[in-house]
Each structure stands twice: as C-alpha cells, then as structure tokens.
C-alpha cells in the first residue's frame, strides 16, 4: 500500500494472493488493510491537503502531465499486469491504459480552468463573488472491470481540483493499481497527495463513511453496493458520486448500415467479455431486418476467438470468476426455457491449460421481456435480440428499466437519430457509435445508474464546493 509517500505492509501484516482468472495461477499478493491502515492513509491525505490545495493550478497540473507521459511509456508493462489479473485480451488492456492516460492529460489542462463568477449585487456598496474550492480528502473505490482507467477517471480530476486522494481498488485487480501508483510516485506528487490501500470493500467503505477527515466518496461499482454507500453517507451528509450498473439498450432501425452496425454491436457487447457497465444488454432490432441481422451477427460471433488474453488474436477472455459464469448460464437457460432461440454459443468454453471461467460468445434471438436477461445486468458475452416494430414502441421498451447509463441508436435518418436520443432516459447515447467513452465528455447515469458525472469539465465539479462571498465595500 502507498501511504504518505511510502510503500507499506498492513499493520496486521496480513496479505492475500491475486489470481489469474484464465489459468487459476497466483500472480502476486497484496496487503489486506484494516480500518487502522485506512485511517492512516486518510491522515496522510489530510496533512497533505492544505499545501496541495494552496499550489497554483499550474503547479498542480505539472505532475499530472508527467504522470500521463510515464503511464504512456509503461503501457506495455501495465497492460501485461492487467491481463494477468483481470483476463481481458492484451490489446484491450493496452487500449485501456492509453484511455486511462488521457484523463491525466486532460485534467492536467483543465486544472487551470476552475473559474468563479461575479453576480450583480442588491446594494451599490456590495459585491457578490462565487468561487470553487476543493472538497477536501477524497475516498475513491473502483471496480475490477477497468483496473486502471476507472482509477485515473477519479484521481485526475480530484487532484486537478486541489483534493488529495485515498484509493481502494477492487480485490480482484490490485496489481494494476499498484503499477499505476508507481507511475504517480515517479511523477513527483508530494507525499500524502495520493494514497493506495488494498483490502476488503466493506472495511474501507466503513472507514470512508465514518472518518470526519474525509470529505467525499467517489464510487464506481454495482448499484447494490452504491445504495449501501448512499444510505451510509446520509448520517454524515458526506459528499458522494456514484457510477453504478447499467442495462444498455442497443436499438437497430431498418435504415441502419447493417454491416457497420453488426461490427458495432460486437464491439459494444463483447469487449471485455461483456463485462462493462455500458455494454449492450438488450439489442432491439426492427422486425423487418431481424433475420438478416441475427444471421450476420451469429456468423461473426462464431468467428471470435476465446482464450487466455495473453495469447495473440484472442477476442474473448475469461469471466472474472465462477459465480459470474453461473449467472450467465442461468440467464441463458432462463431465456431458452421461455422460448429464446440459440443462434451461436450457449456453452462453457473448455480447453486444456485453461482453468478459468470461460463462456462461448453467445447470440440469442426471439428474446422477450419475460426473460431475466432483459432486466438483470448480464456482465457476460451474451447478445439477446428482441424484435420491435415502431419507434414509439422501442423507446418505451428501452426506457422500461431502473437503469439509465448508456444507450445506443443505429439509423441513417437524422430526424430519427435526434428524436430517439432526446427521448431516451439515459446519461449517454451513442448514435451510430458503440464506444462513446472519452476523457473530455461527461460520463454517468440517470436513475439507479448513478449520481454525478466523470470526465470533462463536469467531472471536475464533483470535487469542488461552491462558496459565495458577499463583499461590503464600506459605503
Ligand atoms: P462491486 O462488487 O460493487 O465492487 C466495486 C468496488 O466496491 C470494489 O472495490 C469492492 O471491493 C467495493 N465494495 C464492495 N463492497 C463494499 C462496501 N460494502 N463498501 C464499500 N465498497 C465496497 O462491483 P464490481 O463487481 O467490482 O463491478 C461491477 C459493477 O460495476 C457492475 O455493476 C458495473 O456495471 C459497474 N460499473 C459501473 C461503471 C460506471 O461508470 N457506471 C463502470 C464500471 C463498472 P472488493 O473488491 O473488495 O469487494
């Protein structure tokens, strides 16, 4: 763990092993923190806060920029670590490291644009100023599916705003976080500005909620855990940002470019073996093109290569654990028992030398809303196809969920593209675009998919408090 500028063991001395989900082999170990370690990290961040916040924006931007450069230089090494502990194909891991680096670069620039306002006063001898100030020490909790980019998407804006950070990565993927913190160390942040603790979410979460020196919690993970943190934060009115689960509709109209849309559907659905919060969960296809779309998609999906992410040419790695695989199997069985038709895949993938939880990329047609897969986040490589007839009907179906993170529309009709995107109850709409995440845009969900935004100038707001100064000019 990295606390106050030093690498430390847990006070208890406990460590746990990290496993490769493709092979089951041990790839490393990390300390298991207790609350006392988390409190020590918060103390370090608290001590570092004032001097860091008092630097000029230009001074804060410099180590952020250096971190960007070092992360890019180390992309191959860090991508390897990521694939070993998370399982995604090496090419995807490299792309993620570069994506992660973009947050450091973008916020190194945006650090200089934390502007205030002046407001016309109600009396001639008064002036009204509004300034934005850092919220204080930030506690960040991140998931395993993007082990580096979800970290920089929080750390970079927090540091740019003048906050200091204590971060807890997911239990499955702490080694990528350690590699990232070595980058931050080498970039020259003062001791205590960035701190890393590894250990159980519930232990860290409890300390984050109850420690009065911590001003804000920023969380990315499941809606279930997010709700627990929201509830816990009420007692202390602790500032929170939540990036939670999703159930993305992917809507294909009959006028879409079919070849491109099938490729886009594969990119959205099967990236990271379907384990992303914004991947297509319900694929709505207009009934007039359903048979062609299903056949084209199934044909391409059958050609995807499953295997260890370290092997060249692999498209689909393992699921993170056996529980995740069982959830996928249950959803496929449930759908088949209620009348869905298997177009591709539908089984575990077994090969000598692979001991992980692999599942064949799968396409199901004749799916309807009675099936679990239409309402429960899948987090696996299964593409369910649902037919629709009209624009009105598909908008209503797409919005009939408690989630509201990402959505997708494929059409060549500009009017329809606007009409549908404006009516979708989602924080993100990809129009003919399966990969909408970029550093400069506000990422986040409506409804139970979250609170607040990450990325872009909106992502900086999450780490700033507003202060209004009423200034009397003494006559
Ligand atoms: P998770 O089980 O909620 O875990 C996320 C993080 O929360 C982990 O670091 C976990 O630590 C920690 N945690 C667990 N219980 C906690 C508690 N009681 N208090 C505080 N922290 C706790 O989610 P996941 O399985 O890692 O990630 C998958 C989920 O994340 C999916 O629902 C996905 O949609 C969502 N996600 C959302 C976004 C977004 O931007 N909206 C991005 C990526 C993923 P341990 O590892 O120690 O349990």
pLDDT along the chain (475 residues), means of 10: 98 98 97 98 99 98 98 98 98 98 98 97 97 98 98 98 98 98 98 98 98 98 98 96 98 98 98 98 98 98 98 98 98 98 98 94 98 97 98 98 98 98 98 98 98 98 98 87
326 among known catalytic residues: no
Cα–Cα distance measured from residue 75 to residue 78, given in angstroms and rounded to the nearest whole number: 5
Which residue's CA lies nearest to atom 12 of ligand 1? 201
- At 52 the pLDDT is 98
pLDDT the model gives residue 177: 99
Give residue 232 CA to ligand 1 midpoint distance, Å.
16
Residue with tokens 């920089």: 152
Give the residue, by CA position, lying nearest to ligand 1 atom 48: 201
Q: What is the pLDDT of residue 243?
A: 98
Give the ligand 1 atom nearest the CA of 243: 41
Helix axes 258-270, 290-302, angle to 10 degrees: 50
E strands present in 147-267: 164-168, 194-196, 214-220, 239-243, 248-252
State whether residue 87 is helix, strand or coil.
Answer: coil
pLDDT of residue 474: 84
Mutate to test the pocket of ligand 1, among 225, 242, 243 (most ligand atoms within 8 A of CB): 225
Look at residue 307 in the predicted model and tell me its pLDDT: 98
pLDDT for position 353: 87
Torsion of CA 375, 444, 93, 313, to 10 degrees: 50
Query: What is the distance in A from the centroid of ligand 1 to the CA of 225?
Result: 7
Q: Give, rounded to a whole angstrom, the gap between the first and last alpha carbons of the chain.
A: 56
Q: Please list every protein residue whose CB sits less than 6 Å from any atom of ligand 1.
A: 141-146, 150, 168, 170-171, 200-202, 205, 220-222, 225, 228-229, 243-246, 277, 377, 405, 445, 450
How does 187-223 read in b/e, with b if 16+ C-beta sit within 10 Å?
bebeebbbbbbbbebebbbebbbebeebbbbbbbbeb
Inter-CA distances, 415 with 283, 357, 420, 455, 461, Å:
21, 44, 9, 28, 33
Ligand 1 atom, smallest distance to 221 CA: 30
- Residue whose CA lies nearest to ligand 1 atom number 4: 221
CA 149 to ligand 1 centroid distance, Å: 14
Distances (CA, A) of 402 to 227, 248, 397: 13, 11, 12
What domains appear along the chain, each with residue ranges and CATH number?
A: 2-244+448-472 (3.40.605.10), 248-438 (3.40.309.10)
Count the Cβ atoms, other than its own, within 10 Å of residue 284. Answer: 25
Q: Which of 33, 163, 265, 277 is catalytic?
A: 277
pTM comes to 0.98
Report CA-CA distances (Å) from 414 to 241, 255, 280, 420, 427.
34, 11, 22, 10, 20
> What pLDDT sits at residue 475?
61
Annotated catalytic residue, options 110, 243, 343, 454:
243
> Residue 75's Cα: distance from chain center in Å?
19
163 belongs to the catalytic site: no
3-state SS class at 299: helix
């Amino acid at each position: 763990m990295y606390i106050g500028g030093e690498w430390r063991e847990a006070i208890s001395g406990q460590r746990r092993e990290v496993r490769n989900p493709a092979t089951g082999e041990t790839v490393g170990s990390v300390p298991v923190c207790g609350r006392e370690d988390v409190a020590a990290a918060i103390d370090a961040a608290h001590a570092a806060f004032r001097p860091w916040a008092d630097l000029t924006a230009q001074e804060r931007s410099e180590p952020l920029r250096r971190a960007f450069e070092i992360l890019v230089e180390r992309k191959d090494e860090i991508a390897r670590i990521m694939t070993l502990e998370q399982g995604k194909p090496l090419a995807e891991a490299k792309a993620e490291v570069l994506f992660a680096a973009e947050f450091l670069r973008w916020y190194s620039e945006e650090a200089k644009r934390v502007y205030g306002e002046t407001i016309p006063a109600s009396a001639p001898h008064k002036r009204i100023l509004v300034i934005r100030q850092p919220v204080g020490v930030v506690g960040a909790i991140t998931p395993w599916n993007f082990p580096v980019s979800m970290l920089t998407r929080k750390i970079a804006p927090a540091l740019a705003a003048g906050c200091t950070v204590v971060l807890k990565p997911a239990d499955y993927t702490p080694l990528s976080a350690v590699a990232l913190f070595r980058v931050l160390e080498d970039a020259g942040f003062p001791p205590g500005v960035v701190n890393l603790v590894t250990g159980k979410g519930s232990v860290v979460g409890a300390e984050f909620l109850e420690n009065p020196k911590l001003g804000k919690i920023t969380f990315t993970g499941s809606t279930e855990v997010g709700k627990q943190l929201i509830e816990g934060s009420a007692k202390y009115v602790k500032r929170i940002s939540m990036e939670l689960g999703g159930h993305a509709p992917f809507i294909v109209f009959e006028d879409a470019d079919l070849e491109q849309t099938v490729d886009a559907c594969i990119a959205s659905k099967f990236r990271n073996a379907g384990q992303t919060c914004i991947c297509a969960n319900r694929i709505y296809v207009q009934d007039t093109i359903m048979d062609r779309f299903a056949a084209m998609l199934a044909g391409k999906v059958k050609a995807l290569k499953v295997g260890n992410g370290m092997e060249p040419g692999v498209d689909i790695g393992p699921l993170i654990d056996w529980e995740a695989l069982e959830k996928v199997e249950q959803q496929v069985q449930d759908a088949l028992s209620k009348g869905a038709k298997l177009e591709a895949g539908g089984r575990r993938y077994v090969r000598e030398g692979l001991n992980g939880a692999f599942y064949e990329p799968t396409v199901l047609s004749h799916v309807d809303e009675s099936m679990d897969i239409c309402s429960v986040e899948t987090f696996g490589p299964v593409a369910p196809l649902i037919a629709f007839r009209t624009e009105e009907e598909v908008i209503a179906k797409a919005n009939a969920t408690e989630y509201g993170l990402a959505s997708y529309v494929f059409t060549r009709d500009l009017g329809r593209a606007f009409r549908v995107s404006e009516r979708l109850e989602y924080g993100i709409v990809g129009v003919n675009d399966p990969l909408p995440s970029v550093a400069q845009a506000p990422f986040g969900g409506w409804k139970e998919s979250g609170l607040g935004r990450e990325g872009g100038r909106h992502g900086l707001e999450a780490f700033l408090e507003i202060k209004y100064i009423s200034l009397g000019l003494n006559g």
